[in-house]
Chain A
């Protein structure tokens, strides 16, 4: 199985900050990489697919980049509603594994 490793596990940031979360795959995943946002007690929300494509309705302050095994989620100017846990997932083959999550907290 492909292992997905996110870092950091958590971070503290202020409104307006630029935030970067990284995700590393244990092997090449052919850019089949997605990002999800989850708030406490809520279902995940799909943000990004294929490394850098935003799902409909996702604000443009979210962006994704990377290739091969190393990927990044960037939030350009953190907003109050962005405080949540973020997960990466590969869907290159089965099983499509998730990273362990990065919790973005208010500083």
Chain B
């Protein structure tokens, strides 16, 4: 059974950093592209970042470019999102999702982890 389990969400002050993790279970993690999507309280879904299966290619939303870094450790079946210089606008539930194939998009989603940025 495919499972994605996020962790690392917390309440932090503006300007601080945080690392989110996504543990992948039940599939060959190294064969799949992965993404992060976030959802601010009461708002819609916002795509945040993408990483290829090898980690060689990454993409970011303009809203997080130069502040967030996506990475993965295929040996440990884990996806990460390093978030620096956090702002109030980054407050959201962060979901990791598996990309089944480039022409399919995401198929499985984690349960999400809450990041709150507040002084």
Contacts and interface: CB of A to CB of B under 8 A. Distances in A.
A36 to B, nearest CB: 7
B44 interface: yes
B95 interface: yes
B109 A44 contact: yes
B107 A55 contact: yes
B45 A36 contact: yes
Contacts, number: 56
A89 interface: yes
Interface string A33-48: 0101010001111100
Counting chain A CB atoms within 10 Å of each CB, which of B46, B59, B103 scores highest?
A: B103
A30 to B, nearest CB: 10
Contacts of A100: 44
Contacts of B112: 43
Interface in A41-83: 42-46, 49-50, 53, 55
A101 B46 CA distance: 11
20 contacts: A36-B45, A38-B45, A42-B111, A46-B105, A46-B106, A49-B104, A50-B103, A50-B104, A55-B107, A87-B45, A89-B45, A94-B59, A95-B59, A95-B61, A96-B47, A96-B105, A98-B44, A98-B45, A98-B47, A100-B44
Interface of B: 37, 44-47, 50, 59, 61-62, 95, 97, 100, 102-112
Interface of A: 32, 34, 36, 38, 42-46, 49-50, 53, 55, 87, 89, 91, 94-101
